[in-house]
Amino acid sequence: MESNEQLYDQLVSYIGNWKNLKYHPDVAVKPNINCNEFIAFTKQFESHYKTYLNEGNAINIWDICCIGFDELKHCNVLSWLLDDKGSHGFGNEFFHYFIDYLYNRSNNQFTITKDDINIPYYTSTEVHYESDEEEKNSRVDIKIANERFLIFIEAKVQASETNDQLIRYYRLGKKESAQNKNKPWELIFLTKDGRRPQFQQDNDYQPMLNKVICLSWQEIAVLLRRFSTIQSSRPFLQKILNQYSIYIKRMFQ
């Protein structure tokens, strides 16, 4: 008899394949279904599903936390995952995984090197800049930095960017880099679909567009899923990571 996990994987595979089927009204397709096998499957399904529930496999802790579309909560979770001092205990492993992905995705144009990120860094959320009149209302969702690099992450869940946000953050990053021996820096725009920032009538719009890395929450979900597969020695953590991957994939589909 197949295990609950095998049956679950088969069901997930079936649903995924079914969603990708294309409807061709003019093509007659003869169903290829073994009725006896299907009846046997349905008879087993209820007992297996009850066992699946009783073992707590249907629990997703992120559902229970009711994060929903709360931008601040999602930023807090992402910041926690990227923090080398986070209670997750895997140090900078996911941060390195994240940086490697960005480096490969940007065709090696990513300016921050592995030597830069091997030095201890700090991760902050809701970082306010009030150094001058122009910047007084600037609030960066996630800032990751040390003496060798700087990363700004502007995350959007449902809302659109306002008040030339990305242009202001581009200017802030450029200025902070210049004040620190021109250290490498990156600007990441994280949205549901990885879209580009809205057009603005500003001389810095095109330079900002050339600098910004547009990323989607679905990509974060895939990264977490892949990262969780190499955490077999940490089964509880592996489950938490996989659950968050499933959660954001569902929320931002």
- Can you point out the beta strands (E) in the chain? 122-129, 138-145, 150-155, 185-191, 213-216
Which is higher by pLDDT, 85 or 24?
A: 85
The backbone torsions φ and ψ at residue 26, rounded to the nearest 5 degrees and listed phi first, read: -95, 0
Element (H, E) at 33: none
Domain range enclosing 136: 65-218
Separation of first and last alpha carbons in the chain: 34
pLDDT in tens, 12-21: 677 777 767 7
Q: Is there a single domain that holds both residue 41 and residue 73?
A: no
The pLDDT of 15-30, averaged and rounded, is: 68
Q: Is there a single domain that holds both residue 84 and residue 163?
A: yes
Q: Is there a single domain that holds both residue 211 and residue 122?
A: yes
Amino acid occupying residue 12: V
pLDDT in tens, 155-176: 999 888 887 889 999 999 999 9
How many contiguous H segments (helices) and E segments (strands) does the chain have? 10, 5
The backbone torsions φ and ψ at residue 212, rounded to the nearest 5 degrees and listed phi first, read: -70, 145
Q: Is there a single domain that holds both residue 11 and residue 87?
A: no
Q: Is there a single domain that holds both residue 204 and residue 87?
A: yes
Overall domain count for the chain: 2
Report the pLDDT value the prediction gives residue 124, as an integer from 0 to 100: 94
Q: Is there a single domain that holds both residue 151 and residue 120?
A: yes
- Look up the CATH number of the domain holding residue 109: 3.40.1350
Q: Is there a single domain that holds both residue 85 and residue 204?
A: yes
Which residues, including other chains, have CB under 8 Å from residue 114's CB and lie 6 or more apart? 96, 99
Q: Is there a single domain that holds both residue 2 and residue 114?
A: no
Q: Is there a single domain that holds both residue 128 and residue 4?
A: no
Q: Is there a single domain that holds both residue 32 and residue 98?
A: no
Residue 252 lies in a domain: no
Residue 225 lies in a domain: no
Residue 124 CA to residue 130 CA, distance in Å, equals 16
* Cut 0.75: pTM above it: yes
Residue 249 lies in a domain: no
